[in-house]
Amino acid sequence: MNHSRPFGIILALALPLAALAQGGVSVFDGGAHMVASTFECGTAGHQVKKQNITIDSGKTRYAFGYSGCTDPAHGDQRPSAEGNFGMPEPWVGNWYWGGFIQVMVNGTDALTYDLTDMRILESGPRGSFQAVWKHPDATIGLRIMMLPWSNHVLCDLSWKPVPDKTVKSVSVVLRCYPSFFTTSQHRQGERHCQTPRIDLKQPQTLDLVPDKDTYLYYYDAIFDKAKGEGTGPCAAIIAPEAVASGKVAIGDYSEDTTVSLKPEVGHVRFALYDFAGLTNAEAEAYLKAQAAPDLAELLKVDFRPSVVRETDPEKFRAEATKLLADAADDGVALKPQVDELLAKIGALKAKADAGDWQAEADIAQALRGADELFWRLRTFAALNSP
Ligand SMILES: [Zn+2]
């Protein structure tokens, strides 16, 4: 036996620990669970599905919560009070914990239909998860990602018509309560929406110029941390490619941003910021300096799970075959597991290539789950190779 080999194995084991020590993005899935309905649909005895996923960049932690009543009495609807998808952290206000997003497809909110998938895609060098909904006319996917030490989340929303259906119209409605829940706390604020082009205050409607309004900054001039009031403002960036038109209804309580999208584009990218803890001046200065590079990064990032993007199935198959051969007799017992994995990935790859996000997540999960199998295979191969 070559004495350098055990050292090589120890080195390979030490590397993931080193990567961990450098930090990264951690993602935690609280798991789907049922709770008795209270405020969600108001019907005693109904069961509401809940699931929370948090992403922590090392600088800022965001949490996202799904909620929807599953009782058959609602047919294909999954009602949940003011919305099905909220952002309880960094702060319950700003991007509203009780539902900050609606995705209107052919006139109905896709997020009120069945949630068919919500799971982590990756963590470490980047952190992300996806949620998928089944609207009668389209499959709606939302991927949310954080990069290390980032203060905001990057989002990719896709709509894919189901066979024989057409997406005639699609729009996104984003709801925020900047810095303070004014009305419910019996206080009067002064809501604003500011873009690089204009700053309007309540009560008005801001008609967006997509190419010029490259960031949307939502703040309250009264509830400013610099004045010892409120929690801090929030913001959004919406990549203009898919945007047909948009408007921000600047109310005295919520600010609702409605963006009509071009159905043929199939997806829209956006970024959301919760500036909890910052003064209005600090948030404004951040956006003036960083919104443009943040938009460039949003456009550049590949939302596919890294393990899927970086794994070439043919090379993976060739590597597995060589490792099995090198592992010789020690590999025989592992061969059925390897063959099963290769067959599974082959079948999923075709679906993933056709744009099926669930298949793509299944590949990522299968590859992650195979870590131990391949570690054993590599060890046997190293010990047996001539
Ligand atoms: Zn219900």
Residues with CB under 5 A from ligand 1 (ion): 41, 43, 46, 69, 71
Domain boundary among 268, 303, 338: 303
For 246-271, give one letter per residue: b (16+ CB within 10 A) or e.
bebbbbeebbbbbbbbebeebbbbbb
The answer to whether position 19 is within a domain reads no
pLDDT at 5 over 90: no
Is 312 in the same domain as 241?
Answer: no
Is 296 in the same domain as 326?
Answer: no
> What distance in angstroms lies between residue 75's CA and the mean position of ligand 1's atoms?
10
Grade residue 386 by pLDDT with cuts at 50, 70 and 90. low
> What distance in angstroms lies between residue 66's CA and the mean position of ligand 1's atoms?
15
In contact, 80 and 48? CB cutoff 8 Å: yes
Is 167 in the same domain as 284?
Answer: yes
> What distance in angstroms lies between residue 110's CA and the mean position of ligand 1's atoms?
17
User: What is the reported pLDDT for 369?
Assistant: 87
> What distance in angstroms lies between residue 84's CA and the mean position of ligand 1's atoms?
13
pLDDT (tens digit, 9 = 90+) per residue, 279-301? 999 999 999 999 999 999 999 99
User: What is the reported pLDDT for 113?
Assistant: 98
Is 37 in the same domain as 65?
Answer: yes
Range of the domain at 53: 25-303
Q: In what helix (H) or strand (E) does residue 13 lie, and over which residues does it extend?
A: helix 4-21
Is 129 in the same domain as 252?
Answer: yes
Q: State mean pLDDT over 295-308.
A: 95
Domain boundary among 271, 303, 335: 303
pTM, two decimal places: 0.91
In contact, 191 and 252? CB cutoff 8 Å: yes
> What distance in angstroms lies between residue 49's CA and the mean position of ligand 1's atoms?
10
Q: Name the amino acid, one letter, at 249.
A: A
Here the CATH number for the domain that contains residue 240 is: 2.70.98
Is 220 in the same domain as 351?
Answer: no
The answer to whether position 16 is within a domain reads no
Region class of 106: left (phi > 0), else alpha (psi between -120 and 50), else beta? left
Domain boundary among 285, 303, 321: 303
Is 265 in the same domain as 331?
Answer: no
> Number of folded domains in the chain?
2
pLDDT at 90 over 70: yes
Is 176 in the same domain as 39?
Answer: yes
- Residue with the bigger pLDDT between 7 and 293: it is 293
Q: Is the peptide bond before 203 cis (omega within 30 degrees of 0)?
A: yes
> What distance in angstroms lies between residue 83's CA and the mean position of ligand 1's atoms?
13
Structure tokens at 107: 């006139």
> What distance in angstroms lies between residue 155's CA and the mean position of ligand 1's atoms?
29
Is 75 in the same domain as 133?
Answer: yes
